[in-house]
Amino acid sequence: MSKTRFCEICKQPIDPERVEVLPETHLCTTHAREIEKFGGEFRLLTHQEKTSKAGSLKKNFGGVATKKVRNEEAMRKLLEANGRR
């Protein structure tokens, strides 16, 4: 069982089901919906994996690696829209 986490915007507890599904979240459901107009709480970064040996002229590509990062620009805009800095 995890500790209660509070929304960065309104300081209300985040729904435990939301935290269970999305452990990286720092927003309640209301503010998660609101941040969508600024691009969402997270950005998904991708890059093509290379499986070829270093220095080889033959280029072998594997799958696509993904990484979820926090959308800091959207968070800044959401904070400003809600009168916080």
Higher pLDDT, 58 or 76: 76
Query: Whole-prediction pTM value?
Result: 0.74
- The whole-number average pLDDT for the span 56-75 is 86
- The beta-carbon contacts of 66-73 under 8 Å, at least 24 apart in sequence, are 68/24, 68/42, 68/43, 68/44, 69/42, 69/43, 69/45, 70/24, 70/26, 70/41, 70/42, 70/43, 71/35, 71/38, 71/39, 71/40, 71/41, 71/42, 71/43, 73/38, 73/39
How many residues are given for the chain?
A: 85
When pLDDT is cut at 50, 70 and 90, the band that residue 56 belongs to is: confident
pLDDT in tens, 1-36: 457 899 999 999 999 999 999 999 999 999 999 999
pLDDT value at position 3? 75
